Amino acid sequence: MVGLRGVGKTVLLDRIREDAEAAGIYTVRMEAPEERSLPALLAPQLRQALLRLSHNELAKDLAQRALRALSGFARSLKIKYADIEVGLDFEPEAGLADNGDLEHDLQALLETVGAASHSAGTALIMFIDELQYVKENELAALITGLHRCAQRKLPISLVGAGLPQLRGRMGAAKSYAERLFDFPEIGPLPEPAAKLAISKPALEQGVVFEDAAVTQIVAQTKGYPYFLQEWGKHSWDVARHSPITLADVTKASASAIAALDESFFRVRFDRLTPAEKKYLRAMAELGPGPHRSGDISDCLKRKVTSLGPTRNQLISKGMIWSPNHGDTAFTVPLFDEFMRRIMPNEEWRI
């Protein structure tokens, strides 16, 4: 079981899934939105996988039993999780995943799914993006179910991706999570890889980037994969011919930043309360970070304890994370610069 965290995670998640499918492994892919429950997320995807497994003669009986477990699971938890919407292909089996307790029922459901996968001579891997948005009690139930399947050597597993706070959230949900999962961190690309990400695709199209141009793009983007794409695109659009020069990149930077401001950054900013915006603006005043909580509170002329709820909300929204105890950092680079652009005056201190 693996939990991925950091930038570039979604692309890597899809690549791993493609490789798994090519190897004959069953997979389901989902993204965890902030306002949807884990049972509602899992139920339709597991149904889809079980229907596929039910066409395998070796797994037919156990897959149908798992579909009965899914029926009991959905019906028993419908009152508590009203957002569960899934087709029921079989009547529930009394006593199977139908107690109405998420941790117990999800464990039973995953065990029946794992048994069906085993009988088919394959495995099922659940790919869940934005896993940090799953509520702690629901995350705990998922971890417990996977732990039980691992103990029984059942071939069902999870590849999850999320923001940097994911490791801490999983550890808070179940203390043994860090022993159960690996947490590789996908951070900014190292300089050689970032330069290659710009120059190689262009070269394949017969276009060359000057070394100084590539160096400038890497410096501007901090090696963040999505930003590399944006700067590469805008530099390509600005340049009239090959090679693409430093002057082209300098000109393209204005349009790249404007595009990020209107989409990537603005979407995140618009989700914030006034208090959260002030908190992030204070962080931006201090620079890229990470910053000590005391320094942020000093900037806002507030006590650290009074800012705790705001900080926690920003962590929940995926805006910031704590790389070390007492430290706070933005989850994406360049957000400090955006905050200074969008809140340029001193009014935010009031």
Q: In this model, does residue 3 exceed pLDDT 80?
A: no
* Domain harbouring 312, CATH code: 1.10.10.10
Confidence of residue 137 (pLDDT cuts 50, 70, 90): very high
Map tokens 């794409």 to a residue: 229
CATH for 203: 1.10.8
Share of the chain above pLDDT 70, in %: 98
Expressed as residue numbers, the domain containing 123 is 2-186
What global pTM score does this model have?
0.81
8 pLDDT band (50/70/90 cuts)?
low
pLDDT in tens, 158-201: 999 888 888 888 999 999 998 899 888 877 899 999 999 999 99
Question: Where among 268, 300, 319 does a domain terminate?
Answer: 268
Chain-centre distance of CA 213, in angstroms? 31
Residues 228 and 281 placed together within one structural domain of the fold:
no
Helix, strand or coil, per DSSP, at residue 334: coil
Alpha-carbon distance 270 to 72, whole Å? 40
Let me know whether 148 and 177 are in one domain. Answer: yes
Does the pLDDT of residue 107 top 90, yes or no? yes
Across the beta sheet with 124-129, what order do the strands follow? 26-31, 124-129, 156-162, 2-6, 185-186
In a shared domain, residues 195 and 318: no
The pLDDT value given to residue 318: 87
Q: Are both 129 and 249 inside the same structural domain?
A: no
Question: Cβ(21)–Cβ(119) under 8 Å?
Answer: no
Q: What is the pLDDT of residue 178?
A: 85
Say yes or no: 41 and 181 in one domain.
Answer: yes
pLDDT score of 164:
82
Q: Indicate if 314 and 253 belong to the same structural domain.
A: no
Same domain, 150 and 275: no
Mark whether 124 and 180 lie in a shared domain: yes
Any alpha helices (H) in 129-273, and if so which ranges? Answer: 136-151, 166-173, 177-180, 191-204, 211-221, 225-238, 246-260, 266-269
